[in-house]
């Protein structure tokens, strides 16, 4: 099993931006807080976590790792899913938990979980690797509703990580990149280049939307390094 944080020291930066910088150690802490907030997954049938965290890619990464560490399969809604469709997905078969950053009072708001995270609860990299080895969960990745319909693509976690490595090799992506994603992490393309490749290769990614008004004229003012910048754009461009 590929380890997501094997190339990072605990003090290495994994996320930066107007929302603040975070390290690999902080990501393990916050992933542990997410895992603790989720109900225990029942081995007899896979529990499914619906994750819709769009304003903060770091919080999305913490939600993803926490759900995986707890033994959950993960469902990511389409980027253009309507509120009604999202609520319908939340009531779908097997959906045991919903992690979100909306204004809804339902389910598990990610901001509240991360605010309560404590350093002593942090997962170790070894614990995370052991949790991954225990069960190769499934990730259901959607695209746009108009293109892919209601059925998301189902990938084993190992398949998703292996595909990330293949894409990185095919595109000759830099090691330890400073990644400036311009897409939400719900699609496989944006998840691969905007979150998973930086975590796999020892790099870091932009937390928030570079189009937000609080951003300065130059994104590189906030980037840790200007030498290995990777800007990911929508796959259809």
Could you tell me the strand order of the sheet in which 153-156 lies? 108-109, 95-100, 48-52, 73-76, 138-141, 153-156
Bridge partners (DSSP) of residue 50 are: 75, 98
Structure tokens at 121: 């609860």
Tens digits of residue pLDDT in 157-178? 889 999 999 988 998 888 888 8
Please report the sign of the dihedral spanned by the C-alpha atoms of residue 165, residue 169, residue 171, residue 173: positive
Q: Look at residue 199 in the predicted model and tell me its pLDDT.
A: 94
- Averaged over 198-217, what is the pLDDT? 78
Question: Does the pLDDT at position 106 exceed 70?
Answer: no
63 pLDDT above the threshold of 60: yes
Q: Which of 35, 44, 177, 164 is nearest to 110 (CA)?
A: 35
Token digits of residue 109: 């708001």
pLDDT score for 12: 94
CA distance linking residue 190 with residue 153, whole number of Å: 14
Q: Are 64 and 194 in contact (CB under 8 A)?
A: no
Instruction: Write down the H helix ranges in 23-156.
Output: 24-37, 57-69, 83-90, 110-115, 125-134, 145-148
Residue 219 above 60 pLDDT?
no
Does position 104 have pLDDT exceeding 80, yes or no? no
In this structure, of 18-32, 98-112, 161-175, the range with the lowest mean pLDDT score is 98-112
Residue 116 has pLDDT above 70, yes or no: yes
Distance, C-alpha 159 to centroid of its chain: 16
Query: CB of 110 within 8 A of CB of 53?
Result: yes
């Amino acid at each position: 099993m590929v380890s997501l944080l094997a190339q990072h020291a605990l003090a290495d930066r994994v996320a930066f931006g107007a929302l603040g910088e975070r390290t690999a150690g902080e990501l393990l802490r916050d992933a542990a807080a997410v895992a603790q907030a989720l109900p225990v997954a029942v081995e007899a049938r896979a529990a499914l976590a619906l994750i819709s965290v769009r304003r903060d890619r770091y919080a999305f990464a913490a939600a993803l790792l926490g759900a995986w560490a707890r033994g959950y399969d993960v469902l990511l809604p389409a980027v253009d899913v309507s509120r009604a469709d999202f609520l319908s997905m939340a009531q779908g078969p097997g959906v045991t938990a919903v992690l979100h950053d909306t204004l809804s009072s339902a389910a598990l708001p990610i901001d509240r979980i991360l605010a309560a995270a404590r350093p002593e609860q942090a997962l170790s990299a070894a614990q995370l690797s052991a949790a991954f080895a225990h069960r190769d969960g499934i990730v259901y990745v959607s695209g746009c509703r108009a293109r892919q319909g209601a059925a998301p693509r189902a990938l084993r976690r190992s398949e998703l990580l292996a595909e990330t490595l293949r894409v990185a090799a095919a595109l000759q992506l830099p090691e330890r990149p400073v990644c400036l994603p311009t897409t939400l992490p719900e699609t496989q393309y944006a998840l691969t280049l905007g979150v998973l490749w930086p975590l796999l290769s020892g790099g870091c990614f932009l937390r928030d939307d570079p189009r937000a008004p609080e951003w300065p004229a130059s994104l590189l003012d906030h980037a840790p390094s200007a030498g290995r910048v990777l800007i990911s754009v929508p796959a259809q461009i």
